Structure formats: C-alpha cells, structure tokens
Structure 1
C-alpha cells in the first residue's frame, strides 16, 4: 500500500489590486474505497474562513472570499495519502448491456451519466464505436475505447485548453488527459454506458506514464457486478493504486480544482505547481505558467484546469 506526499500550489498574480475575490475549490481528497487520507493541510492567502459542503456528485467542496484588495491569491494543498486499492482490479468482463439497462432503469444518477452531449461530429463517434465493437461486454467496450484513444490520438501539451470541445479534439486528433477523458465520455455515453469524469493525480514512481506529477483526469464507468471502475485513456490502463482521486462529475466543469470571480481591471497570471513525493525519497515536480486572458473586465471568471496544467 503505497503512500504519496502531494504538494499542490495554485497561484494567481495580478498586475494591480483586485478585490471581492469569491472562490470555489475542489482539491480535497475523495473519501472513497481505495485511498486513505493520512493528513491534509490547506493554506490560502489571507487565511479566509473556508466553508465546506458536499456537492450533488458527492465531492467535498470549499467556498471562501477575500474582500480586501490584493495582488496575489495563493492556494496551497499538502496531502499525505495511502492508496489501498490492489494493483490489479477485479472486473466483471461478462456482464452485458441487458444487465446494465436493468440496473440503470430507475436510477436517476446513472441515467444522467449515460446522457450524451450534443456535438456536430456524432457520426464520427458512431464510426469509432463500430471500430471498437459496441456489442461486446460493458468492460470490454470500455477497454477497447481506451485503447483506441491511446493509439489514434497524440498526447500534445498546449494545443487545447479548458474550453476545448469534443468536436475540436476530433479535429486535432491530439490533446491531453482532460481532452481524452471528455472524448471517452462521449463515446461510452453514446453506447449508453454510464460514465463520469474524474480529477486527481497520477503517481507512478519512475514508470514514465503521461501526466505524472501534475493534476490528472480519467474516466469511471459503471460495470454491472463491479460498480464504478476507473480507466485512464491517457495511458490506456485501468486505475489502481497509482491514481489519487479528488472529485467526480459529468465533465471537467463539475470538478474544476479552483474557480471564482473577482472585481478589478487587471492582467492576471496563473501558475500551478504540483510535486509528488514517494516513499523511497524520489520527488517528481512540475511547474506550469499559464497565461490567462489579458486585460480583464469587471468581475471576470478564471479557472484552474487540468487541460491548462497538462
């Protein structure tokens, strides 16, 4: 059972003072089977009171505001977590769609997670489903979908952002973890498989997996006889004890690590630092400077996103 020490800093700097900054954060480790939180420390500029609540999807969420004028907002999370999941998932590869439909019937959240988004290139999604074999078992379709994305879409940083659509991902045939998760959700939901977006971290000590040492995104699918099971199309692996989970939702917007608004005319700069420390003393660090919008209007919105960080 590996133990990881994760240090996550979100830093917003402004070229002139802003005020009335109202924010929502989802950087709390998920209280779920497969991981045990040993310690979690949160530090925010100005030490505001953070009101926590559980959102619709079961995520622990924090809300705070900073009324005074400021030129820096720094949100620092220090997490010590033990992953208790086995290194090999026990999945039911025999349950089919008839059993899945019986379990979905009357379950509003599963129905919601099986609802597709409207996109222009749905015909392309149908072609992908035909190639991966949409009549296999639920787990097999999921696995072949992950493999298809891994083989046919390139991992390239900087060509997408948090606003990139599935249509644009299909055109690029490239992206990062957030993009691959959104594409996989569209494919699986088009097969009527309930699936949800997951935000978190990937911690593969020296394994060379894509996305190591930064915020990461993957997908969870509902498999009859198994329940929710995570799969990472960025690396084409089922999720085990190398992934640390923060939040789930229909898509990225439900899981945004940090988002909020402020009042003021200012240029802002976002930088995100993530370090993952391992039991053997090895530390993987990554710093990303993300250029946001230039001159801001009154009460602009800004988000910290996996797509930006990756």
Structure 2
C-alpha cells in the first residue's frame, strides 16, 4: 500500500470585483498626474488545531516597480527571515517558513509600502506597425482557442481596419454584454459568457481572450483599486484589469470592468488611472498555484489545522 501524504492548500482567491520582449516599442504616452500612497498589508495565520506543522510556508506577492505605471520608494516586511524571489512574469514575492507553529497561537505578517502611481494617457495615432508574438496564446482561464470566443472575436473584427478598432470593439462588447456580479470563484473568459454573472476577473479575462483570438497581445494584472468615491458594486481594493499591445503605441492599459457604464467607458480605455496599483502580472503565476495575492501551504493536514484568519489592506492617499 502506498503511503499517502496530505498537503493542505490554503489559497486566498481574492476576486472583486514576464519580462517584456526587447522588440517592444515604447508606448506613445504621457504622464498626466501622479499619486503617492502609503499601503499596509496585514496577514494573520491561526493554528486552531492541536498539532504542530512539520512544514508551513506562506508566499506573498509584493508590490514592486512596474514601469511606466508605478515606482515603489520603500518596503518594510515583518517578521524577518523571509526569502525574496521573482517569478516568470517578473513578479516579486516574500516566502516565509513558519514550521513548528504552536497550537492556539497566531502569526502576523505586516508589509508596508510607500509608492507613486502615474496616470498615463495614450495617443493611439494611426495604429500602424508590427505586433509582438508574446502574450497571444490560449492559457488557463484565457480560452482564446475556444470556438465560441473565436467566433465572437471574428464577428466583432469584421470591417475593422486596424487592431485599435478591433480592441475597442472587444472592449465595448464586454462592457455591453456582461452582467456584473461579484463572485468568489476563479472563473475565466469562457465562463464569462454564461448566465452566472462576471466580476473584474471575467471582464478582463474575456477581453484578453477576444484579443488573443485575433493575435493581438494582451496581458493581465491583479492589484488594488483605491476609489475615494467608489461606484456601486465595484470593489474598493482587490481588482483586475489588462494591457493590450497596439501597433505604434506598445502596451496600452484599459479596465473593462470600470468602463462597463456607457458614461464612463472612454475614461478607462487607453487611459491608466492612478487609482490602480499593480501587485502581480499574469493570469496564473506559477508561484501562486492558482491563487491571487498569496498562497499558504502546510503539512501534515490530518493532524494540523491552520487558517488565514485575517487579511487586511489599508490604502492611504498621501499626495495627489
């Protein structure tokens, strides 16, 4: 009989709602304004069982520099003893080893940031030039090879003269056709076409899939949304959006979730608003094992009970 080892996977899927190629051209864009933030993240692990873990690890995605969108001035991480590493997308993480966590006790992780986020305005121009080959393939949750998604993309692209016109058609389609409903499931582009509703994860995933179906590069971001006067049904913190690579412009930001209302649609197309704070790039970064923002693993699971009892963000606008 084979020995069976239990590995408890405690992943926080917080939905609300790679390194770039050397062949990329610099975006035809300008910085319109900058906001400065102080951000605090607090994570609490509770051992509510009677056992002591032989192994326990926590991986936390870290806010980091992402040009031209944001620059981190300082970062403080507690407790010490963590390991820093970078994944295939260039995302940064802190890995903690909390083995021998005593029963009935809590471990608290605190991370503080000082950073600046830019408002970027893009000039799309005549939308002529070459596309890049990266970020055009189907992947988990970005089902650009799905027959239904391919048919929608082909139909929306008819009579469009440029990639910019195609992408705008995809953006409008997602805003018009999806029904916003906040869920806590990690669905994707194909699921967004169903009747269960969609939040920022599905809005962004579907727009990415439509773009990739037409070989237009698109990449996914997860992070924080800091709205002082938030629109109803929009998450105040965890959020997702995307970049699309357009000829003559390079990577161009857009947020189809925030742009789903007709009177706000132009605000979030080819415009990076400084209330978006990037935590990770990529729909399924390997370090997060299908989760968002952090991943928690411990062993053995048959005698140890540990959970993330608290996960809080505090976002303070310092300068506008």
Q: Which has the higher helix share?
A: 1
- Give distance in 2, aligned partners of 1:55 and 1:124: 32
Match of 1:277 in 2: 316
Q: What is the DSSP-based 3-state SS (H/G/I as helix, E as strand, rest coil) of the residue aligned with 2:202?
A: helix
By relative contact order (CA 8 Å, sep 6+), the higher-ranking structure is: 2
The correspondence of residues 222-301 of structure 1 with structure 2, limited to 5 A, is 222-236=245-259, 237=268, 238-251=271-284, 256-263=292-299, 264-265=301-302, 266=305, 268=307, 270-279=309-318
Q: Which moved more, 1:47-56 or 1:209-218?
A: 209-218
- The answer as to 2:127 corresponding to 1:95 is yes
- Which residue is equivalent to 2:24? none
Report the alpha carbon displacement of residue 192 of structure 1 after superposing the two structures with TM.
Answer: 0.5
Q: In the superposition, relative to structure 1, how do residues 244 and 22 fare at CA in structure 2: closer, same or farther (>3 Å)?
A: same
**TM-score, normalised to structure 2's length?**
0.71
> Which residue among 85, 109, 112 is the counterpart of 1:75?
109
2:10 is matched with: none
* CA 198–275 in structure 1, closer or farther in 2 if over 3 Å, else same: same
Instruction: Say whether residues 1:114 and 2:158 are aligned partners.
Output: no
Tell which deviates more after alignment, 182-191 or 55-64: 55-64
Residues 37/121 of structure 1: CA separation in 2 closer, same or farther (3 Å cut): closer
- Distance in 2, matches of 1:117 and 1:260, equals 24
Equivalent in the alignment of 1:187: 210
Q: After superposition, what is the alpha-carbon deviation per residue over 1:75-107, rounded to whole angstroms, capped at 9, x for unaligned?
A: 333222222334xx12324225xx33xx42xxx
Cα separation, 2, equivalents of 1:206 and 1:250: 28
Aligned-partner Cα distance in 2 for 1:180–1:232: 8
Q: Deviations over 1:198-223 (max 9, x none)?
A: 11112232152764431211111112
> Does 2:169 correspond to 1:144?
yes
Q: Tell me how far 1:73 sits from its aligned partner.
A: 4.5
CA deviation vs aligned residue, 1:147-186 (integer Å, no higher than 9, x gap): 221222122123x412x24333321352221222222221
Taking the aligned partners of 1:216 and 1:4, their CA distance within structure 2 comes to 17
Q: Contact 1:209–1:235 (CA<8 Å) still a contact in 2? A: no
- From 101, 118, 122, the equivalent of 1:84 is 118
CA contact (8 A) 2:89 2:285 kept: no
Structure 1: which 5+ runs fail to align?
Answer: 105-109, 282-310
Deviation at 1:232, TM superposition (A): 1.0
TM-score, normalised relative to structure 1: 0.73
d(CA) in 1 for partners of 2:89, 2:256: 22
On the 8 A contact 1:5/1:80 being kept in 2, the answer is yes
How far 1:33 moved relative to its partner?
1.9
Is the contact between residue 215 and residue 274 of structure 1 (CA under 8 Å) also seen in structure 2?
no
Post-superposition CA distance 1:25-65 (Å, at most 9, x none) = 2122334223232332223xxx2522212222122222221
Q: Structure 2: where are the runs of 5+ without partners?
A: 1-33, 260-267
RMSD in angstroms over aligned alpha carbons?
Answer: 2.9
- Residues 243-271 of structure 1: CA deviation (Å, up to 9, x unaligned): 11122124466663111310133263554
Structure 1 residue 14: Cα displacement:
4.2
